[in-house]
Amino acid sequence: MALLTSVFSHMLKRLFDIALSGLGLILSSPLWALIAAAIKLEDGGPTFYRQPRVGKNCREFMSVKFRSMVADSDAKWGVIPAKEGDPRITRVGRVLRATAMDELPQLWNIFRGDMSFVGPRPEWVELVKRFRQEIPGFDRRHAVTPGLTGIAQIYGHSELPRRQKLRYDLVYIKKQSFWLDLRLVFISFLVTFTGKWEDRSAKLPRLLGGRGVDRTRQAPISKHSCGVSVTRN
């Protein structure tokens, strides 16, 4: 019975991802042209930012976002988390990041099945190699499809220690359900409309409740291996 429930929940989640990402791609298409024009007008650099990320079962895929930082920022500064007042972020980029509009191209990743709307955020391949050495059990987060949003994104921020983010990810994996996904997607829409994605605090803590945050901080991290090498889809 539990297995049937799990299979049904997985199918429902995938159908939801296909339907919502497809609708999102259609409805947001006018925004793509405006965002691309704004990025080009600001500094003439590339419109998109592409980076190989690690997904479910450690499979690699190419993540695509609207560029929100100066061109070649990875080559100049390395791949490091964005900080408050980060000089790498462009003026257009600040608006895109606050409203999560820089993530719009990832709707295509969701439609393809590389990602889901809810799940642990996919990490850059090179960072995953480092985190595996530094954090026991890091690959446990790769047991599920990575997401556009999740508990770590709503309660955390880009400067949160990686171990803390992993604890949030493991709480989601333990408690995941279609109804939890719907709740997190709804809250994420509210955060987008209020432009609080770059806030260095819980975005809408009252909607999830403070106790949940406390339990998340105590989530254990145990050793686990992916068991497969990173490969490209």
pLDDT score, position 30: 94
What does pTM read for this prediction? 0.81
Q: Which two tokens stand for residue 14?
A: 């995938």
> Would you give the DSSP letter of residue 69?
B
Q: Is 2 among the domain residues?
A: no
Report the 10 Å Cβ neighbour count for 160. Answer: 15
147, β-bridge pairs = 116
Q: Is 46 among the domain residues?
A: yes
Alpha carbon distances (Å) from 62 to 118, 137, 179: 18, 24, 28
SS3 100: coil
Q: Which two tokens stand for residue 216?
A: 């998340």
Residue of 74 and 183 predicted with greater confidence: 183
Q: Is 48 among the domain residues?
A: yes
Average pLDDT over all residues of the chain: 83
What total number of domains does the chain contain? 1
Residue ranges making up the domain that contains 18:
10-232
Q: Is 1 among the domain residues?
A: no
Q: Is 140 among the domain residues?
A: yes
User: How far is residue 181's CA from residue 116's CA, in Å, rounded to a whole number?
Assistant: 10
User: How far is residue 157's CA from residue 41's CA, in Å, rounded to a whole number?
Assistant: 29
Query: Torsion angle of alpha carbons 48, 52, 55, 60, nearest 10°?
Result: 130
Q: Is 4 among the domain residues?
A: no
pLDDT in tens, 138-179: 999 999 999 999 998 888 776 778 898 999 999 999 998 899
